[in-house]
Amino acid sequence: EPEVTQTPSHQVTQMGQEVILRCVPISNHLYFYWYRQILGQKVEFLVSFYNNEISEKSEIFDDQFSVERPDGSNFTLKIRSTKLEDSAMYFCATLAPTGNYEQYFGPGTRLTVT
Amino acid sequence: AQSVTQLDSHVSVSEGTPVLLRCNYSSSYSPSLFWYVQHPNKGLQLLLKYTSAATLVKGINGFEAEFKKSETSFHLTKPSAHMSDAAEYFCVVSFTGGADGLTFGKGTHLIIQP
């Protein structure tokens, strides 16, 4: 069964540094998403991406965040200048083209900002 | 306002006894509803989904959920708990599908006593 993959599984970075989190979506899925889960809290929607542009974004997704699909395969989330509060698990998800709104989640990247 | 509420942050049951995890939603529309499970240090796995077909939905690992529009509820049940069911369970709603991200409840931590 096809699955969403994410790399790295764990990223440690210093405050102020830039990080890029990578996702490889399922090949025939058209909508892509990033979610964030701060330790002990619920999963929160960050952004959705369709046809090479942002479709929707939450208030969390401010100017320090950006997304792109640089090579038609990877889907990336860039955090320009990381803050301590960016430490979280970041999940990539893709929408199945079946009309039932089912999203497939990757295993996540745990980002630790020190 | 559209929201999803999981009524219990923790539920503890004995192995072999029934499980009930409660979820209510608030929406002006007919939503799509999901339950996802997250085992420790793992990603999000879809347990089951409701998308306006049968109101009683069967999922993986013996879990079921019933959509009750009059009560705006989508409670998750299992007749007999197993130790491997210990995990975090998220009730998730898609209010419009597509571009909008999923809305997660805060999660219910299911503890299975031997």
Where do the domains of chain A lie? 5-98
Mutation pick from B2, B6, B44 vs chain A, by most beta carbons of A within 10 Å, is B44
Average pLDDT, chain A: 92
Q: How far apart are CA A96 and CA B94, in angstroms?
A: 13
User: pLDDT category, B98, cuts 50, 70, 90?
Assistant: low
Query: Average pLDDT in the B11-25 region?
Result: 97
Question: Is the pLDDT assigned to residue B69 strictly greater than 80?
Answer: yes
Q: Nearest-CA residue of chain A relative to B101?
A: A45
The count of C-alpha atoms lying within 13 angstroms of the C-alpha of A10, restricted to the half-sphere facing its C-beta, is: 4
Q: How far apart are CA B57 and CA B34, in angstroms?
A: 10
For chain B, the domain total comes to 1
Q: Nearest-CA residue of chain B relative to A91?
A: B43
Q: Give the helix/strand (H/E) hosting B113.
A: strand B108-113
Question: Is the pLDDT assigned to residue B82 strictly greater than 80?
Answer: yes
Q: Domain A5-98 falls in which CATH fold?
A: Immunoglobulin-like (2.60.40)
Q: How far apart are CA A60 and CA A70, in angstroms?
A: 23
User: pLDDT category, A20, cuts 50, 70, 90?
Assistant: very high
- Which positions in chain A touch B34 (Cβ < 8 Å)? 102
Residue B62's domain comprises: 3-95+102-113
Report residue A76 as tokens. 């990336």
Question: Is the pLDDT assigned to residue B97 strictly greater than 70?
Answer: no
Q: Residue B68: what pLDDT?
A: 92
How many other CB atoms are there within 10 angstroms of residue B66's CB atom? 15
